[in-house]
Structure 1
Amino acid sequence: MDRNFARALSLVLTSEGGWSDNPADPGGATMKGVTLANFRRYVKADATKADLRAISDDQVATVYRRFYWDAVAGAQLPGGIDYALFDFAVNSGPGRAAKYLQGVLGVVQDGRIGPATLAAVRAKPAGVVIDALCDARLAFLKKLSTWPSFGRGWSARVASVRRQALLMSAAPSATEGSASPGPASPDDVPLAATPAGAGSPAAGEAPAVPHKSASPAKVACVLALIALALGSLTAWTAHLPCNLFGVFCQ
């Protein structure tokens, strides 16, 4: 998903390194993986190699997003697959990367990530797609005439991409990133199981008022009333003969 662009770009730049102008590299002069041709296309039409070497971080992000990430529909791909395909696109071109993904998925290889490709990629486990895509990518690289010169580095890069992409595929998605519920409050403690409807008020009835423990003041009041009643009963009992026989007791 698009939330992975910054992380994916950071990983790609680690692999791309800094300035390079190796005659054996078909991409020509590059800075942080940005070729002079793409720098001229997206940033400065008449840029020189000196301009390319001075490219800013924002300019780097602009080129990578527009030329690679958007070209392979990175924002619409599942986590991990987005990075694996993005890095493939940076290394070997967006069209080729898209075709290899489509080959892995068994859909038409037209080099365009459309609804059919997206539906197919979402129907498979991300880890399976990542492994198959990295295997296919490595097989392609081994067939290139430049493999003797760059094979060792490419092999290490694909291994790193596979590892990081699998980690990203296992991470929670944005929709699952909400805060986890905290400790249950007293109101969250479940009551003992009762038959369905046994504890619910009937329609039109007011819900029962929950029982509350008596306060200390109420307890004291009740005990005082009991003591007063006992005292009155004792006094009446002492004068019982007088009351019964009409004799005035002094």
Structure 2
Amino acid sequence: MDRFERAFALLAVHEGGYVNHPDDPGGATNRGVTQRTYDDYRCRHGIAIRDVRSITDDEVATIYRNQYWDAVRADDLPGGVAYCVFDAAVNSGPGRAARWLQSGIGASVDGSVGNETVGLAASVDPLRLIDGYCDRRLAFMKRLRHWPTFKNGWSRRVAEVRAQSKAWAANGTTQPSQVAQPAKADGPESAAATLRDTLTDGKSVGTIAGIVGSAGALLSGHGPVQYAIAAVLVLGALVGVWWLVKGRNA
């Protein structure tokens, strides 16, 4: 499997199938390819325009390679950096993806990956470069007016791209099976992920455990007063978990 195929397999996990969210500025999209991008592709090849829901596997792979991978010269960039820039190009456009790279390595920021950019990218610590790149990408997303709607999915995508890019840069391998579909902006997947984060936080777990422990001590006694106080403490612990989850989703 060549580098593009590896990167494409990782990216496909994030893109999913057909979506047409009313708040998505990209409009109707299938497997990460917008209707406008698909129209442009078919026009350039002299093929009649059709609904993006009918896009083929070969068309998807060709569009990603020609319009994004090749556009940022990913074959000439260090492995992990290449994947990081490629994913950003798909998500935010090749020009912006190139500028984020250039601003992090001291190259001329012109939105076009040339020999200067390729040479400087190879001379920088890839792990630090990837971290800085993902920080700039996330900062850009937070300035978009759609951030409140899509922040959970976008931030999770950047976090996963960061982790996979650094793993690739460090040892030349990636773990596609460990990359989960990004959560939607809201809904049960996002709530479940937040609950998992809360219950794996040491401080949160310690606080909840202390409350439950106090309730257990009271239940070792007898009488309605002890039982009532214990019930209140347990209820308080559950309410505390709810507020922690709500706070992390805010």
TM-score, normalised on structure 1?
Answer: 0.65
Written as runs of structure 1 = structure 2, the 5 A alignment for 1:166-181 is 166-172=166-172
In structure 1, distance between residues paired with 2:36 and 2:54: 15
Query: What pairs with 1:1-250 in structure 2 (closer than 5 Å)?
Result: 3-43=2-42, 45-49=47-51, 52-172=52-172
8 Å Cα contact 2:42/2:48 also seen in 1: no
The 4+ residue runs of structure 1 with deviation greater than 4 A are: none
Shift of 1:172: 4.3
Shift of the alpha carbon at 1:43?
3.3
Compute the displacement of 1:119 (Å): 1.0
Partner Cα separation in structure 1 for residue 33 and residue 61 of structure 2: 10
Separation in 1 of the partners of 2:172 and 2:146?
A: 39
Contact 1:126 1:169 in 2 (8 A): yes
| C-alpha displacement of 1:41 | 1.9
Are the counterparts in 2 of residues 3 and 75 from structure 1 also a CA contact under 8 Å? no
After superposition, the CA RMSD in angstroms is 1.6
Consecutive unaligned residues of structure 2, counting only runs of 5 or more, are: 174-250
Answer whether contact 1:36 1:47 (CA < 8 A) is retained: no
User: Tell me, which stretches of 5 or more residues in structure 1 are unaligned?
Assistant: 174-250
Q: Which has the larger radius of gyration?
A: 1
Alpha-carbon distance in 1 for matches of 2:172, 2:155: 28
User: Could you tell me how far 1:56 is from its partner in structure 2?
Assistant: 1.5
Aligned residues: 170
Task: Tell me the amino acid that sits aligned with residue 18 of structure 1.
Answer: G
State percent identity of aligned pairs.
Answer: 46
Q: What SS does structure 2 have at the residue aligned with 1:43? A: helix
Cα distance in 2, alignment partners of residues 87 and 96 from structure 1? 12
Question: Can you list the C-alpha shifts for 1:91-133, whole angstroms capped at 9, x where unaligned?
Answer: 1111001001111112211000001111110111111111110
Give, in angstroms, the shift of residue 48 of structure 1: 2.6
Asked if the contact 1:43/1:59 (under 8 Å) is kept, the reply is: no
Q: Distance in 1 between the 2:19 and 2:137 partners? A: 23
| Deviation of 1:171 (Å) | 2.7
TM-score of the pair, normalised by structure 2: 0.65
Q: CA deviation at 1:9?
A: 0.9
Higher normalized helix content (fraction of residues): 2
Q: Tell me the SS of whatever aligns to 2:75.
A: helix
Whether the 8 Å CA contact 2:98–2:112 is kept in 1: the answer is yes
Q: CA deviation at 1:23?
A: 2.0
Q: Secondary structure at the match of 1:111?
A: coil
- What letter matches 1:46 in structure 2? A
